[in-house]
Structure 1
Amino acid sequence: MMNIKSFPMTGIQEELKVKGVKIFELDELDAVAAQTEKEAISFYTELTGVEVTEAKEIPRDYEVYEDESMEKKRSVGSLVDEDWDGEPFIVYTTNY
């Protein structure tokens, strides 16, 4: 799967490879898309200040609610395919 990012003002198109990107669940509340578990933990710790020592890889077909209305679900893989820009990011967060 590839994402193509366009920069129309410069005439540049950049292909961003989603293949190999994994989704890791951290601290049972959040999930991060990253190339490796180490990258996911480092990104998450730096972003949140929460010390995490391990993460659990979750399958791309794992489904989460799209928004707070909790009416429609999407796979985390489809979220990564849509939003991956070559850098780790939080795929979903859960508030209890």
Structure 2
Amino acid sequence: MAKNWTTEEEEIIKQEVLKNPNNLREAFFIASLKTGRTATSVCTRYYGAMNEEKETKDEQIKKLSIEIIKLYDLNLELKQQLEDATKAKFIN
């Protein structure tokens, strides 16, 4: 049966990652020894629930949608500039 993570266990993980940010595998291993959890579960907890940089899929989709709209608008603008330049070439 799975047991819930405590704030103390999460703090241990954070401390070990801060001590050894260039070798997370070792940090997870040491945290696993201190918490009585497996290194895999520590790793999963860190990247899953604790990682503050993690974006939700909805946030990723929203950012991509905004970029697509910007590219579409830029495409329309460039198309208009090309049409204007073509018209100017034929007029002169």
Point out the structure with the larger helix share.
Answer: 2
Q: TM-score, normalised by structure 2?
A: 0.21
Larger radius of gyration: 2
Point out the structure with the larger strand share.
Answer: 1
Q: TM-score, normalised by structure 1?
A: 0.20
Q: Which has the higher contact order (CA 8 A, sep 6+)?
A: 1
